[in-house]
Structure 1
Amino acid sequence: MATFNRISFDPAILGGRACIRGMRIPVSVIVKQIAHGATREQVLADYADLEPQDIQQALKYAAWLTGEEVRTAWPRRVGAVHPA
């Protein structure tokens, strides 16, 4: 399992969502900004306390999450699209 020392989960902060180093900056917000075309420099400008390593680890965390095996209880139908 990967280690993410810049990602924290605290029930008292945003209900335990994955955040950057205990701050109220959700990993999902950082990843969405990058996915929608923001540069790392733009993201850093938006969040003064953010460091380049935070963005890198947020992206690595997102990649790790999407690499996890997905199991579904959906019945397979011919011609249907299902997660792999």
Structure 2
Amino acid sequence: MFDRITFDPQIMGGRACIRGMRITVSLVISLVANRMSVEEIIKEYPDLEAEDISACLQYAAFLASEEVRPFSGSTV
């Protein structure tokens, strides 16, 4: 599903990266959040492709869609 998103303990401490490069998903999401266009991001990081940026956004959306339920904390 997220074939462009990789995790390798030897690269950036195992954080989510793009295609095994030292460019993290969080960096790309931050750039988008700061209103950089796809073209501007690719100009700054020429190893990236538009599909990489889209994959980062899809991955972030996937993570944000997880449900978090409070622990009821029943005692035994």
TM-score (norm 2): 0.89
Runs (5+) with no aligned partner, structure 1: 75-84
Q: Does 1:6 align with 2:15?
A: no
Separation (CA, whole Å) in 1 of partners of 2:29 and 2:70: 25
Number of residue equivalences: 73
Q: CA deviation at 1:70?
A: 1.6
Separation (CA, whole Å) in 1 of partners of 2:40 and 2:13: 27
Deviations along 1:9-60, whole A, 9 cap, x unmatched?
Answer: 0000011000000000000000010011111111111111101100000000
Deviations along 1:42-81, whole A, 9 cap, x unmatched?
Answer: 111111110110000000000000001123449xxxxxxx
Tell me which residue corresponds to 1:19. 17
Identical columns (%) = 51
Runs (5+) with no aligned partner, structure 2: none
Separation (CA, whole Å) in 1 of partners of 2:68 and 2:41: 30
Tell me which amino acid in the other structure corresponds to 1:60.
Answer: Q
Tell me which amino acid in the other structure corresponds to 2:26.
Answer: S
TM-score (norm 1): 0.81
C-alpha RMSD of matched pairs (Å): 1.6
